[in-house]
């Protein structure tokens, strides 16, 4: 089943224009502020060393440093992820549940939160593995699983794994189109954030840097993350509606 990428993006933009005020009210506290707080208060995970010593020893040292970092800061990253997922769930509830208020959308998102968070973790594992190994397989998997969120909110109550299977079923034959849609948010968000991250490294140098400049750049990076998260939710809704309508 083919999917028109450009028309789907137009549908997503129309959803944003229709509910812009409500969507921004949901996105700011749930998608912007957690990312902004992490950027300001929590150090990034350590990167692997590329020079000095034998490769295996470097890899082991990196694994140890990541474990130490996760012990100190991993909980904050998971908390930020969970808050962001609640915001994403509320966006899906708002766009798929008919005319509702922000409070009603949040209420439905909180009721669905355990199942939705589990489903998103199950999606993130294969997508993350695909992105680490080769970007294109990761994007393909992301496209095939793009409809998991809309499925959970628009269809009958089902377990997380059943939502993944339903997404794979709905996207059969449209994998490449959905991979292209996924790249708009996954890759688009990463590419758009790079100038802010590069400037943060320049401003900080070997020290803390100018706190005002760092805060402004972190705010820019968080705004990109918010836009990417909101865009991904709206694209998933637009793609879901088109594929369900075509399926009959």
Q: What is the pTM of this model?
A: 0.89
Tens digits of pLDDT across the chain (248 residues): 679 999 999 999 999 999 999 999 999 999 999 999 998 888 877 766 656 556 676 667 767 777 888 888 888 989 999 999 999 999 999 999 776 788 899 999 999 999 999 999 999 999 988 887 778 888 999 999 999 999 999 997 889 999 999 999 999 989 999 999 999 988 888 899 999 988 988 888 766 778 899 899 999 999 999 999 999 999 999 999 999 987 65
DSSP collapsed to 3 states, the chain:
CCCCHHHHHHHHHHHHHHCHHHHHHHHHHHHHHHHHHHHHHCCCCCCCCCCCCCHHHHHHHHHHHHHHHHHHHHHHHHHHHHHHHHHHHHHHHHHHCCCCCHHHHHHHHHHHHHHHHHHHHHHHHHHHHHHHHCHHHHHHHHHHCCCHHHHHHHCCCCCHHHHHHHHHHHCCCCHHHHHHHHHHHHHHHHHHHHHHHHHHHHHHCCCCCCHHHHHHHHHHHHHHHHHHHHHHHHHHHHHHHHHHHHHC
């Amino acid at each position: 089943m083919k999917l028109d990428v450009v028309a789907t993006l137009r549908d997503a933009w129309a959803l944003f224009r229709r509910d812009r005020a409500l969507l921004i009210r949901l996105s700011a506290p749930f998608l912007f502020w957690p990312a902004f707080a992490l950027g300001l208060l929590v150090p990034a995970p350590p990167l692997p060393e590329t020079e000095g010593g034998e490769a295996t020893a470097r890899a082991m040292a990196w694994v140890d440093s990541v474990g130490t970092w996760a012990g100190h800061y991993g909980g904050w990253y998971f908390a930020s992820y969970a808050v962001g997922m609640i915001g994403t769930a509320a966006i899906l509830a708002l766009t798929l549940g008919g005319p509702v208020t922000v409070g009603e959308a949040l209420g439905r998102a909180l009721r669905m939160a355990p199942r939705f968070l589990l489903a998103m973790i199950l999606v993130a594992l294969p997508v993350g593995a695909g992105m680490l190994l080769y970007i294109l397989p990761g994007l393909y998997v992301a496209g095939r699983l793009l409809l998991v969120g809309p499925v959970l909110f628009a269809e009958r109550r089902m377990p997380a794994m059943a939502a993944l299977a339903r997404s794979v079923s709905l996207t059969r034959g449209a994998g490449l189109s959905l991979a292209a849609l996924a790249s708009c948010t996954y890759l688009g968000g990463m590419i758009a954030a790079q100038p802010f991250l590069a400037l943060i490294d320049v401003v900080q140098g070997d020290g803390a840097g100018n706190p005002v400049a760092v805060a402004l750049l972190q705010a820019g990076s968080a705004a990109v993350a918010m836009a990417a998260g909101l865009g991904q939710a709206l694209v998933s809704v637009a793609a879901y509606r088109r594929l369900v309508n075509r399926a009959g």
